[in-house]
Amino acid sequence: MQQTNKSAGIRYVHNANGPRLGYSEASGVRILEADGLFFKDLDKDGKLNPYEDWRLPADERAKDLASRMSIEQIAGLMLYSSHQAIPGNMGWFPATYHGGKPFEESGAEPGELSDQQLAFLKNDHIRHILVTRVQSPEIASVWNNNVQAFAEGIGLGIPANNSSDPRHGSDTSKEFNAGAGGTISMWPESMGLAATFDPETARLFGEIASKEYRALGLATALSPQIDIATDPRWFRFGMTFGEDPQLAADMARAYVDGFQTSEGQAEIADGWGYDSVNAMVKHWPGGGSGEAGRDAHFGYGKYAVYPGGNFDEHLVPFTEGAFRLEGATGKASAVMPYYTISALQDPKNGENVGNSYNTYLINDLLREKYGYDGVVCTDWGITADEGEDITQLFPGGRCWGVEEGYTVAERHYKLLMAGVDQFGGNNEIGPVIEAYNIGVREHGEAFMRRRFEQSAVRLLLNMFRLGLFEDPYLQAEETAAVVGCSAFMEAGYEVQLRSVVLLKNEGALPLPKRKSVYIPKRKLPADTDWMGAPIPASEHYPVNLEVVRKYYEVTDRPEEADFALVCMESPRSTKGYSKADVEAGGNGYVPISLQYGPYTAEHARETSLAGDPRDVLNRSYKGKTVTVSNAGDLETVLETKRLMGGKPVVVSILLSNPAVVAEFEREADAIVAHFGVQDQAVLDILSGAFEPQALLPFQLPAHMRTVEEQLEDVPHDMEVYVDSAGHAYDFAFGLNWRGAISDARTAKYGKIR
What residue spans define the domains of the chain? Answer: 4-61, 77-482, 497-574+629-749
The closest alpha carbon to 136, from 101, 90, 172, 100, belongs to 90
**Closest by alpha carbon to 663, among 745, 567, 598?**
598
Q: What are the CA-CA distances from residue 739 to residues 248, 404, 562, 694, 727 (Å)?
A: 26, 58, 24, 13, 10
Asked if 106 and 89 count as a contact pair (C-beta separation under 8 A), the reply is: no
Taking residues 591-596, what's their average pLDDT? 98
Answer whether residue 2 shows pLDDT above 80. Answer: no
| Distance separating alpha carbons of residues 590 and 631, to the nearest angstrom | 17
Read off the pLDDT of residues 622-676 as tens digits, 9 standing for 90 and up.
999 999 999 999 999 999 999 999 999 999 999 999 999 999 999 999 999 999 9
pTM for the whole structure = 0.97
| CATH of range 77-482; options 3.30.420.40, 3.90.1300.10, 3.20.20.70, 3.20.20.300 | 3.20.20.300
Residue-by-residue DSSP string for 496-523? HHHT-EEEEESS--S--TT-EEE-PPEE
Read off the pLDDT of each residue in 460-466 and give the average, rounded to a whole number. Answer: 98
> What are 532-555's pLDDT values in tens digits?
778 899 999 999 999 999 999 999
Determine the distance from the C-alpha atom of residue 152 to the mean position of all C-alpha atoms in its chain, rounded to a whole number: 29
Averaged pLDDT score across all residues of the chain: 95
> How confident is the model at residue 182, as a pLDDT?
66
497-574+629-749 folds as: Rossmann fold (3.40.50)
Give the DSSP letter of residue 365: I
DSSP 87-99: SGGGSSS--EETT
Instruction: Answer whether residue 379 shows pLDDT above 90.
Output: yes
Mean pLDDT, to the nearest integer, of 175-186?
73
pLDDT recorded at residue 91 = 77
Q: How far apart are CA 625 and CA 676, in angstroms?
A: 30
Q: How confident is the model at residue 1 (pLDDT cuts 50, 70, 90)?
A: very low
- What are the DSSP E strand ranges found in 75-125? 79-80, 83-86, 96-97, 101-102
pLDDT tens digits, one per residue of 101-120:
999 999 999 999 999 999 99
Q: SS3 of 679, please?
A: helix
Q: Where are the alpha helices (DSSP H) in 529-630?
A: 545-548, 579-583
- Same fold flag, 77-482 and 497-574+629-749: no
